[in-house]
Amino acid sequence: MLKTLSLARDRLRSKAPLSSSPTSSSFTFRVLSSPFSSKRHAPKASKEEEPPLKESVLLYPKDPSSTPKLFLVQPRLSPPKFLQAKLNEALCLANSLEEQRHGYFESDFFDKELPSHVVVQNPVARSPKAHVDTYFGSGTVDNIKCHLNAEDSKEEVDAVFVNAILSAVQQRNLERIWEKPVLDRVGLIIEIFNAHAHTKEAKLQAELAALMYKRSRLVRVRGTDGKQTFGQFGEAEVVSARGRAASKGSGFVGGAGETELQLQRRRISDRKLRLLSQIKDARRTRLLQRAARRRQGGLEGKSLATIAVVGYTNAGKSTLTSALTRTALYCNERLFATLDPTLKSAILPSRRKVLLSDTVGFISDLPIQLVEAFQSTLEEVVEADLLLHVVDSTAPNIEEHRSTVFHVLNQIGVPEEKLKNMIEVWNKIDYEEEEEQVEDMHYLDDGKGEEEEEEAAELIDGSIAEETLEASEAAVEEDQIENQEDDSDGWLLSDENVSDSELWKVPEDAKLVAAQKNGPDVRVSALTGVGLKELMYLIDERLKGEDDKLRSQTVVERSELQSRKWRPPRKDDEELAVEQ
Ligand SMILES: Nc1nc2c(ncn2[C@@H]2O[C@H](COP(=O)(O)OP(=O)(O)OP(=O)(O)O)[C@@H](O)[C@H]2O)c(=O)[nH]1
Ligand SMILES: [Mg+2]
């Protein structure tokens, strides 16, 4: 089984050629329309009732058996190892977008075809600012369109996934040029969150994230006829009479009426308020449960310690939690398999009972507000007594993964003391051994890889590479970028005032804390069980250390209190008081 897994993973790691891959997916289902174009929200002048927003934020209708066929566009990164890692992650993201049926995914992750993809020149490589209108230069945009047409002629592509963070305007313009819904990195991750959420709380949080994202995507662009239009297909501007009467004071005709943009914003704001209040209720329940757990206590009247298992998505958090608690949590190769925190108990070597909390994984380049939508869930992490940071030791960009986790933990407010005490667990050490064993029978070693890499080089260094920045900038049509009202509420970091190079940079604070740790505290294989005993002893030790710290703190506080209470006022003190 292990071998199959490694082979399959190997396949995903190495097969993704750095070029357009005309592999046709086995997905046969269709996206009816994009949630991010307004096609599906064709304005209805008279209807004022609450739209089914949960549905409107989704990429495809909630048919559990439906999976969209995505076409991936990966901006080139260097070094090639980093590009390969990012490309593999993007392919995994694309294949992770799937609804579960009765708690299970229809297909085996590795039975799925790799999504068709193309590596293109990275616009931020030459200039910190990408093209404000279409992100990519015009040559790249046209080239992608050709690839899309070619792909479409074989099997219809439902949406284009650009593995970068696009502004609303860039997204809308690309949608118009490519005539396909476009998802950027944040959009796809939100879609996955929505598809994988199970519990009421996770669903609410995922919907909130989608809603905030959707609000940031509401833009008006100037259409080909020069008129302001709201949607991709130039829907009418004024869609309801609301506001007319109010603006005139009486009568039923007057004022400018409500535009589609205002109507959508209002609906989103109303829904957001309702969602926030529901999340608040769920949070209250969680707080009560946590307090009850603390009261319940462990051995010798101690409170029951909670250990939060954190880490990059797919690092093996659920597998490790299952192994340590001897339970069977849901584990899957799909990214963001876990969205709902789960608590399981374990007995440490000292016979102390603890709770392990498995939670949502982190990923690079996500805006803080997305994390904020999951604040209620992530509170478990902030409140935990100890953190276990699970790292996939086989990840080629392991440093980026580590830094991302430190960054998110900083963002959600984990105290520095807790970060220092965190146990870093390098997981999947069995994989290296496996890799060595299967190297000779590497089924991808069929000579195709090189050929495909050459193609990639052609694509990157050929027509697209020749296109100069100046030329593409000249191609920016002024009327397309005029009035680029980006209503992101400062939510998306992709706003034009934040350069994309900033987004891809590991934040300094995260680097600092990550650098303080030189390596793993323990190396394990959650799958085979190697290193788990050592890990359990380490948890015991760290918790004891925490207890001792707490005890000495309490003793100091108590003695301070006593001395304050019983100490008779000294002469020096009296003098000091008089001076003051
Ligand atoms: N070879 C190997 N595979 C592992 C190990 N631990 C986990 N995996 C595999 O890695 C994949 C992801 O594991 P999960 O436990 O679901 O990872 P996770 O961190 O919980 O992922 P998310 O919930 O999606 O964030 C699964 O296919 C596991 O079987 C390990 O020690 N060795
Ligand atoms: Mg998990």
pLDDT in tens, 235-248: 445 544 554 444 44
- pLDDT, mean of residues 190-210: 87
Residues with CB under 6 A from ligand 1: 5, 311, 313-319, 331-333, 335-338, 361, 427-428, 430-431, 525-527
Contacts for 189 with CB less than 8 Å, ≥ 6 apart: 93, 336, 363, 366, 370
Ligand 1 geometric centre to CA of 329 (Å): 11
Coil, strand, or helix at residue 408?
helix
| Among the bound ligands, the one closest to the CA of 342 | 2
459: number of Cβ within 10 Å = 21
Band the pLDDT of 36: cuts 50, 70, 90: very low
Question: Which residue in 365, 362, 363, 407 sits closest to 498, CA to CA?
Answer: 365
Ligand 1, residue 524: give the atom nearest the CA: 31
- Residues around ion ligand 2, judged by CB within 5 A, are 317-318, 337-338
Q: Give the pLDDT score at 562.
A: 59
What separation in Å is there between the alpha carbon of 316 and the centre of ligand 1?
Answer: 3
Predicted confidence (pLDDT) at residue 35 exceeds the cutoff of 70: no
pLDDT-above-90 percentage for the chain: 29
Ligand 1 pocket test, candidate residues 92, 332, 357, 363, most atoms within 8 A of CB: 332
Same fold, 7-265+448-498 and 297-392+394-427+512-548: yes
Query: Which residues are bridge partners to 386 per DSSP?
Result: 307
pLDDT at res. 20: 40
Ligand nearest to the CA of 334: 1
Band (298; pLDDT cuts 50, 70, 90): low
Class of domain 297-392+394-427+512-548: alpha beta
Q: Calculate how far, in angstroms, residue 73's C-alpha sits from the geometric centre of ligand 2.
A: 27
The per-residue pLDDT for range 496-516, each reduced to its tens digit, is 333 333 433 444 555 555 555
* Spatial distance between the Cα atoms of 407 and 368, rounded to a whole number of angstroms: 10
Domain positions in the chain are 7-265+448-498, 297-392+394-427+512-548
The residue contributing the CA closest to ligand 1 atom 25 is 313
Is pLDDT at 81 greater than 80 in this prediction?
A: yes
* CA of 336, nearest ligand number: 1
| DSSP output for 355-388 | EEEE---B-SS--HHHHHHTHHHHHHHHH-SEEE
Pick the more confident residue, 85 or 282: 85
Atom in ligand 1 nearest the alpha carbon of residue 338: 23
pLDDT at 333: 85
Mean pLDDT of the chain: 71
User: What ipTM score was computed for the predicted complex, to two decimals?
Assistant: 0.99
| Position 545, amino acid | G
Phi, psi values for residue 564, rounded to 5°: -65, -35
Q: In ligand 1, which atom is closest to the CA atom of 332?
A: 16
Whether the predicted pLDDT of 452 surpasses 90: no
Confidence check: pLDDT of 477 > 90: no
More confident residue, 526 or 64: 526
Is the pLDDT at 406 greater than 90? The verdict is yes
* C-beta separation of 181 from 31 below 8 A: yes
For the ranges 60-64, 87-91, 360-364, the lowest mean pLDDT is seen at 60-64
Higher pLDDT, 433 or 244: 433
Q: Is the pLDDT of residue 39 over 50?
A: no
**Average pLDDT, integer, range 384-413:** 93
The whole-number pLDDT of residue 119 equals: 95
Q: Which residues of 168-180 are buried (b: 16+ CB within 10 A; e: fewer)?
A: bbbbbbbbbbbeb
pLDDT tens digits for 507-542? 455 555 555 566 789 999 999 999 999 999 999 999
Q: Rounded to an integer, what distance in angstroms lies between the CA atom of residue 204 and that of residue 184?
A: 22
- Closest ligand to Cα 331: 1
CATH class, domain 7-265+448-498, is alpha beta
